[in-house]
A = this chain, B = another copy of it.
Amino acid sequence: MEQETRLSTEPTTPEAAPATPGTVRPGGRTAKVRAAVLEATQDALVEQGFHALNMDRVAAAAGVGKTTVYRRWGSPIGLITDLLHDMAEQSLPAADTGDLEGDLRANALLVLKTLTDPRMGPVFQAVIASAACDEECATALNGFYTTRLREWAPAVARSVARGEIPAGTDATEVLRAVSAPLYYRFAVSREPLAPADAERAVAVALAGARAGAFR
């Protein structure tokens, strides 16, 4: 977020106050406050959605002073951006089933499970909406998916090595092709998501990969 709107003073002077609270003493209380606030943010998103996300309510639910929430996160979008950074840190290991179809299916089902999860669904909804409002949040979201792609790319690379799909296939594009139809339904066309959608996404991506459409 942009808390630096307030600090117009150059931090050249030695006695300049710290630009971002929570960076000098990240231990103990500061960490507890962050955990409580992000938890309360998630709760609020699940219960009322992005539009109703409110700094005062989050502060109250987290048992934290609202001044603190304003100072450290600045705005609801700041909260969501930090939540996104937190999510990006939690890495799940990618699958390795032995063939591409199995790996892609595992990936598709993971995405499906995440988006239809009663807790993660609203969070992703909010994250996507926030990214549409704020460039910094958009960058964080982009980084989140970049990380995920990097984790799963080896699955496609192994498939190329096995000769299942043509050499020169762009691994990340294959993975994007698996996720895209699910996210499209979830965030854009607002249609219900079912396991059949995951299966179809896998089948189409696989057909495309075999046909060399990702080179």
Contacts and interface: CB of A to CB of B under 8 A. Distances in A.
A211 B203 contact: yes
Contacts of A51: 77, 133-134
Nearest to A199: B213
Interface in A67-112: 77
A214 B149 CA distance: 25
A126 to B, nearest CB: 7
Nearest to A170: B200
Contact of A213 (B179, B180, B188, B200): B200
Contact of A211 (B180, B183, B184, B207): B207
A184 B180 contact: yes
Interface string A177-210: 1011101110111110000000010011111101
Interface string A4-25: 0000000000000000000000
Interface of A: 49-51, 77, 125-126, 128-134, 138-139, 141-142, 145, 173, 176-177, 179-181, 183-185, 187-191, 200, 203-208, 210-211, 213-214
18 contacts: A50-B132, A51-B77, A51-B134, A126-B132, A129-B129, A145-B188, A177-B204, A183-B183, A183-B184, A183-B188, A187-B187, A200-B213, A203-B211, A204-B204, A204-B208, A204-B213, A206-B213, A207-B208
